[in-house]
Structure 1
Amino acid sequence: MAIEAVIWDFGGVFTTSPFEAFNRYEAEKGLPKDLIRRVNATDPDTNAWALFERNEINTARFDELFLAESAALGHPVPGREVLPLLSGMLRPAMVEALKACKARFKVGCITNNVVSEHSPGQDAGQRMAGAMGQVMPLFDAIIESSKAGVRKPDPKIYLMMCELLAVDPAHCVYLDDLGVNCKPAAQLGMKAIKVVDVDQTLAELAALTGLTFGTAA
C-alpha cells in the first residue's frame, strides 16, 4: 500500500544512541556492560524509567527508585547519574532524510522522554535542546510520553499519532532504535525499521518510500 506518513523516534535515531554513553559510564565505573539496559528492562512497564517517562514521578524519586532497582541487581547506580547520559550527537544525514520525507509525506515523532524541568543538567540539557531545536519544528505532529502519559511500546501511542496525522497505520513507516518499540508498530500494520546505523536505515527507508538519500559519510 502507498506510504502516506513516516513516523520517527528521536533519541538513537536523530542522535547517537544513549546506549553508547551507558556503556562508557559502566566501563568508567567498573560495572558490568549493559547493566543500565538490564535495569531498564526489568519490570519495563512499572520500573523507575517507565514511571519517569510517563511523568508519574519526579527526578528525586527516579534517583531513589533507580538506585534501588540497580542495587537489586547487585550494582547500585544513582538515577541522577544516568540522566545526563541521555544526550547524544546529532546525525545530519538523518535530519536531511527527514526533510526529504517531509517534502513528500506527512511526518511525525513519537518520543519517550522526561519533562524539561527534570533536565539532567544544564550542559546536557542545552545539547539536547540544540538537537531538538533543529529537528522538532520539521514534524507535522509530535507525541512526547511525558506529556501524553503513555509511552512506547504501548500500542495506544502509535494510534494516537495516526489519528493526529489522519492516516491508517498500514500507510505508515515507523523508525526506532529499539526492536521492542518497532514490534507493536509492525503489529498495527506499519512498515517498521529498526535503526542500527545510519546507512542501513537510509537504505531501508529508501526502499520503502522510493526516495533517494545521502549516506552518513
Structure 2
Amino acid sequence: MSPPYPLPGQYQALILDFVGVLTEGVRETIQGWCLDQGLHHRAWGTTLSRHTEGRRLYLELEAGRLTQQEWNRSTASLLGIDDHENLMGRAWAKVRPAQDMIDLARSARRAGLKTALLSNSFGLDPYDPYRTLGVNDLCDVTVLSEVEGVAKPDPEIYRRTLERLEVPGERCVFVDDNPDNLPPAQALGIVTVIADGRPDLASRVGRLLGVPTRTSGDRDVAQG
C-alpha cells in the first residue's frame, strides 16, 4: 500500500492512460451516437468487445496491423452503417478532455517529474484523438500500442515505457481505468491507481505524488 504522503523524491515519473484518464464522457458520447444512428445504445461496445469479428478487428487496430480507415470500413459494416467515412471520429466527436488530469500532468512536469502517455491507441488518421483533445504534446514520452505493435496488458509495453522514461518502476505512478492493465505494471514495481470514475482522481494522484493540483472550481474562480 502506498504511504498517505510521499517521501521526498519517492516518485520521479507519472504514467497516464488516455481513455478514461485524460478523457471524459466517452461512454455517454458513444451511446448517444449509437442512438442517433438508430442503433441500440450499446451496439458500439458490444461489437468491439463481444462480437468475434468486431473484437478481432479492434485488437488488430490497437496493434497497428489495421489502419483506422480499414477499421472504419469493416466495423461500419458490422454495425450496419452505410457511411464508414471517419467512423471513429464521428462516434468520438463529443468526447471531452479531462482538464483536471491534464492540469495534473502539467503540474507534475513543472515539479520536475517525468511524464508518459501509455495508450492502447486506435488509429491516428483520419481521426487523431490525441491531437483533437489537446494531449499529443502533453507528456515527455508517448507510447502508443499501434506504433509499438504491442498493447496493454502485455508486459513488454510497460518495460518500453520505463526504458524511455529512464526511471525504475518503483519510482513511477501509473493511472489507468482498466483493472486488467494494472497487474503487469505492479509486477514491475510501479505504483498503480485505478481511474474509477470518481471526480477526485486528479487530487488523489496529486497527493500521492506531492504535486499541487487545480480543480475545475479553482479554474472557474481564476477565470471569473
TM-score, normalized by the shorter chain, greater than 0.5: yes
Aligned partner of residue 116 in structure 2, secondary structure: strand
Kept in 1, the 8 Å contact 2:48–2:54? The answer is no
Aligned partner of residue 139 in structure 1, secondary structure: coil
Aligned partner of residue 160 in structure 1, secondary structure: helix
Q: 1:53 aligns with which of 62, 65, 84?
A: 62
Is 2:120 the counterpart of 1:112? yes
Offset of residue 108 of structure 1: 0.8
Kept in 1, the 8 Å contact 2:69–2:126? The answer is no
What residue is the counterpart of 2:48 in the other structure? 40
Letter in 1 for 2:107: A
Offset of residue 82 of structure 1: 4.3
Segments of structure 1 that go 5 or more residues without pairing to the other structure are none
Is 2:92 the counterpart of 1:86? yes
- Say what the alpha-carbon RMSD is for the aligned residues: 2.9
Kept in 1, the 8 Å contact 2:104–2:206? The answer is no
Once residues 175 and 187 of structure 2 are traced to their aligned partners in structure 1, the CA distance between those partners, rounded to angstroms, is: 14
Letter in 2 for 1:63: N
Offset of residue 4 of structure 1: 1.8
Kept in 2, the 8 Å contact 1:6–1:105? The answer is yes
> What number of residue pairs does the alignment pair up?
204
Q: 1:18 aligns with which of 26, 33, 37?
A: 26
Offset of residue 6 of structure 1: 0.6
Offset of residue 175 of structure 1: 1.2
Kept in 2, the 8 Å contact 1:170–1:189? The answer is yes
Aligned partner of residue 62 in structure 1, secondary structure: helix
Q: 1:45 to 1:210 in 2, by over 3 A?
A: farther
Q: Give me the identity figure in percent.
A: 21
What residue is the counterpart of 1:96 in the other structure? 103
Segments of structure 2 that go 5 or more residues without pairing to the other structure are 3-9, 218-224
Is 2:148 the counterpart of 1:148? yes
Offset of residue 115 of structure 1: 4.1
Kept in 1, the 8 Å contact 2:106–2:138? The answer is yes
1:27-70 Cα offsets, whole Å, 9 max, x none, are 323433433223222369961111112221234532354256x4
